[in-house]
Amino acid sequence: MKNNGFKKRSSLLYSLIAVMLLLGACSTNNGSNSTSEEGSQGTDGTAKTKIAYWTIDRHDMDYMQEQVDKYNATNTDNIEVEMKVMADNYNQAIEVAFASNQAPDIFRSGDFQTYVSKGYYAQLDTLLSEEFLAKFDGLLVEDIYTKEGHVYTLPNSGQFWRLLYNVDLLEKAGYTEPPATLDEMVEIAKKITEQGKSEGIYGFASNFKNSSGFTRPAFASGSLSSENSHEGYNYQTGEFDFGMYKDIAQAMRQMKEDGSMIPGTESLDIDPLRAQFAQGKIGMYVNHSSEPAVYASQFPTDIRWASAIVPTKDGVKNGVTWVNAGGYIGISAQSDEDKQQAAVKFLEYLYTTELRTEYQELGLGLSVLPYVNEAAGQPELAGIEGFMPTQYDGIFPATPLSVTETKLEGKNASDTFTEYILTGNQDLDTIIEDLNSRYAKALAAARAEGLTSIQADPSFNSKSLQGTLGQ
C-alpha cells in the first residue's frame, strides 16, 4: 500500500524548504533578525536593537529605503531597521516565517482575517499611545483594521476610483463637463462613437477579460448610489442584495447595445485598454488613482485627459465611492518586548506628517489620513488632481463577500453581471433574484461554519462615511 501520508508530509517539507530559500533570495536586502549584532553599537556604546521590516511594495522601495537609512542614522533610541522588499509569494513567505519563528518584527499587512486568526499581529492598542491612535479617529473600521475592540493594523494610502475621460473627445461631442448621471454617460459614449467610429474611436471601454471589467465601475457607482450597501452586501439587513448594481449594469449593457464600447472589450485587459486610451481611441473608462503614474511612465500620452466622480443613476450621492485602503503596517506578535517597542518607534516614524506628506507630494500614493491631506501640497504628477480625496470617498466596513463565495453554488455575481452586459441574454431582475437567493444560502453556510462574524447592523448608513477622508 502506498504511504500517501508520507508523500503529503514530504511535499509539505519541500514546499517549506523552497519558501525558506525564498526568504533569503527574493529580497532587495539580506540580513539578520537578531536583536543585536557584534560590532553594531549606538553612540553610547549600547548594542543596537535590530528589527526586520518586510514589505511587498516595489513602487516606493527606493524612497522607503532612503527613509529607513535616514531613520537608522538619526534615531536616538539605538534602533537599526533592515528593510526587505519581497519579490514574490509574500503571503506564503510570511506564513513560513511565522511557522518557523523567523517572522519580521514589523511588516506590510496582508489578508486581515487570516493574519488575525493565525495570531501574526500584535495588538497595537496595547503598544501605541492614545494620542497617536487619535490620528486615526473615524477610520479604524471593524474587520479591516480592528477586531473585537483591538487595533491590529493602520490605514495609510488608498486607491480612489474615478471616471477617466478624454477632454477633447467630450468637447468635440458637444460636452463641456463629464457625465454626472448614468444616462448622460450612455448618451456621451454614443455621441463620441458616432463621431469617431470611422477613426477607430469609441465612447467607453472596460477590461472584461476578467471580473474587474464589471467590478471597477460597479463598486464605484453602485456604492456611491446606495445608502446601505457595498460589494452587493446590505449592511442593514446582513444579507446580499445585488439590486444595488441594477442601474450600472443596465447602463453598461446599453452602451454595449449601442455599439459604444470598443470592439473586443470582452477580451480586453487593463494595459491594452490604457494603451488605447493613451492613443485617443477611448472616450471614458473607470479605474483608480494609479492611472496618473501609468500615463506618466508606462503609457506616455499627449492627449488631454481628466477624471471625475463616477456617475450615479440620477446624480445623487447617497453613499460614498469605495476607497480600497487596507492595512499598511503590522507588528509581529512573536517579537519580544524590546523588538516590539523598537517597532513601535519605527512605526511612529513612518506616520510622521513630514514623511507621509512628502510621500504623497512625490506621487507615490494618495493618503486616506486627514492630517496628511491637510498638510500636503499638490502631488507632482499630471492628472492626479481629479483623484484627490473628496467628501464622497470613504472606507467601507468589511463585507463577507469573499468567504461567501467559497460556499457559493454556480456562477459568481461579477461573472453573471458581465455575461449580462456582453450578451443581454437574460432578464436582469431574474438574474438579481437568483443571485440573492444563491448568496443567501452560501452566506448562511459560511456563518454556520464560523467563517465570518459579520452580522446585520441596522444603524449603518453610508452617508455617515461622507466627509471622513476629505472635502
Domains along the sequence of the chain with CATH: 28-154+326-367 (3.40.190.10), 160-323+397-465 (3.40.190.10)
- DSSP at 393: E
pLDDT tier at 53 (50, 70, 90 boundaries)? Answer: very high
Task: Write down the pTM of the prediction.
Answer: 0.85
Identity at 207, one-letter amino acid code: N
pLDDT in tens, 112-145: 989 999 999 999 999 999 999 999 998 999 899 9
DSSP class of residue 261 equals: B
| Residue pLDDT, tens place only, 194-226 | 999 999 999 999 999 988 899 999 999 999 999
| Alpha-carbon gap, residue 105 to 112, rounded angstroms | 17
CA distance 101 to 164: 46
Q: Categorize the per-residue pLDDT at 403 as very low, low, confident or very high, splitting at 50, 70 and 90.
A: very high
Residue 141 CA to residue 457 CA, distance in Å, equals 13
Identify which of 285, 273, 274 has the alpha carbon closest to the alpha carbon of residue 204.
285
Q: What mean pLDDT comes out for the span 229-237?
A: 98
Q: Dihedral through CA 106, CA 107, CA 112, CA 118, nearest 10?
A: -70
Judged on CB neighbours under 10 Å (0-12, 13-18, 19+), 184 is middle
pLDDT tens string 24-51: 444 444 333 444 444 466 556 678 999 9
pLDDT at 417: 97
Render pLDDT for 427-446 as a digit per residue (tens, 0 to 9).
999 999 999 999 999 999 99
| β-strand pairing of 233-234 with 239-240 | antiparallel
User: In 162-181, which positions are buried (b, 16+ CB within 10 angstroms) versus exposed (e)?
Assistant: bbbbbeebbeebebeebbbb
Which grid cell is 350?
513612518
Average pLDDT over residues 227-244: 98
Task: Name the nearest CA neighbour of 155 among 414, 403, 347, 418.
Answer: 347
**pLDDT band with cut points at 50, 70 and 90 for residue 58:** confident
